[in-house]
Structure 1
Amino acid sequence: MDRRILLTCGEPAGIGPELAPLALASGVEFAWIGDPRHLPAGTAFTRIAAPNDPVPAGHLPVLPHQFAAPNTPGRANPANATGVIEVIARAVQLVQQGQASAITTLPINKQALKEGAGFAFPGHTEYLAHLAGDVPVVMMLASTTVTPACRVVPATIHIPLAEVPAALTDETLESAIRITHAALIRDFGIADPRIAVAGINPHAGENGVMGREEMTRFTPLLKRLRQEGLDLTGPLPADTMFHPAARARYDAAICAYHDQALIPIKTLDFAGGVNVTLGLPFIRTSPDHGTAFDIAGKGLADPESTIAALRMARDMAATRA
């Protein structure tokens, strides 16, 4: 058996505990890390001591991790915040030790983590980068059910829109391009990646009429990187980058800010989008949705995005190997 993927439990009061047994339908070998008390009643599971221990067919392999309290679906308990954080760290340790092939993380609730454990990171992406040694990373959202594929990378992530122009420095944009280029080769098997870069202003500034960032910052940087051999187009107007004919001309799009990247992919492939952290020394994917407190415990959780995330992690691990 190949090394399993580790599926972290995420926020126990969300839909994560329901998604874990449903994700067995993916056909991907994975082990869930969490407190078995949080799983839905009647879940067939087997406690294991190591990620790749055998389990009966149809059983969820569970690496037990004791939490401070049971869970109430839809109501985050700050007492469980430390357990959520410990599970993520434990998964990173196991994958770095070579005991697992990748990590897929179920959604967390940042407010509960902050209130219960003083969690100081904006989200999973930043915490995983810290655990990996404070390596530079970028967030990619990748579609799994639309063709041509839609892969987007926001160069700036969880900051107010008013702060984007100052945060989008030459160094930030160059780092996003280089990390994406390397990951497309290493993790997606694309030998000569084509990357499109969106401008920050409407119509990509329209030659300075609607903003000069494209002329003074984007264009000189892209010219320099093209001279190194990178296949880059842009800066492009973001509003014309995501129809099928446009997507066919590139393998990933670098966007200036969070919503510029996430609105198109969530429109095109809401259920099948996968969050991938590029730049880590290990593979991490995640479903592209939140904890869904409003439907937690009601049997309404849709595992499609979790299944897509597990399958993408499996495929990336095979490519990287």
Structure 2
Amino acid sequence: MNRIAVFGIGSTNFRSVLGSPSEGFLGEVTTEPTRPYELETQTLEALERLAANADGDLDAVGIATAGLVDDAGTVFSFDTPGGETVPQVRLAERIEASFGLPTAVANDCTASALGEYAFGAGADYRTVAHVTFGTGIGGGVVEDGHLLRGEHGHAGEVGLLPIVADGDLESCGVRGAWEAYCSGRGIAQYVRSLLAEESRETTLDHETVTAEAVFEAVDAGDQVAEDYLERIGRLNAAGLGGVCNAHDPGLVTVGGGVALNNAEVLLEAIEAHLDDYLFVERPTLEVTPLGDFIGLYGAMALAEGKSVH
């Protein structure tokens, strides 16, 4: 049985657990606040605890993390809750030097696609795409068990697909980017821009609107919020259509806080418009069955491949 130290590292939460590809998680997932400016130290400390509790030697380490990740396992532009970024975190290098363990690191959204393929709903499909709707939008694509990484390890930044050519909103310098309109952060700024021109009566407040407030207003029957969600659904359909036309997946799963907390209404809004943007055959579209832990499963799948190859 392979014993793998598995990490899911976000800007806010730092998760760790022992895992086995054949048996799943070997214990409870530990969650603690992320220490962005001490991330190498925090990871080494957590790895030390996992190694001490393992019933035998560890075989590998798998890490799914926010930020851009190169092929050497170095993380760039790691976001902090305060909006700043840590420019460089050498996770794989530090772990391999300190523990002598093979270490696989990938962006959390990209790794999630591999987790879906290996442990989730992707068993019956050659090509699986996963899209995470969280503070931003990210994703990944797996074909025949191989994760698409890109020339510099940065593939999967689907949230930066431009879906509004003349849009006023941007993300990471990309004008009209999908996540600028449809992520947790994007929904708030998009709706704020719509409210600035709105004269209809609505419970949404221009100054305090959040993505959560939009979905709550929809549940309460606010017609303006329903109209906005229909527009967001069309934009999401355009983004997903682009992913599908580029990769022809048999399955697309969605995850992240925005999707998991509003699954039915989000998918209904997308389903209403998806065919307008598809050239390829329509894939199966569903919420990931792996929930919040999909990134951890992706990290375990990454490490399994690292320990074998």
Q: TM-score, normalised by structure 1?
A: 0.29
More strand, by proportion: 2
- Which fold has the larger relative contact order, with Cα–Cα distance below 8 Å and residues 6 or more apart in sequence? 1
Q: TM-score, normalised by structure 2?
A: 0.30
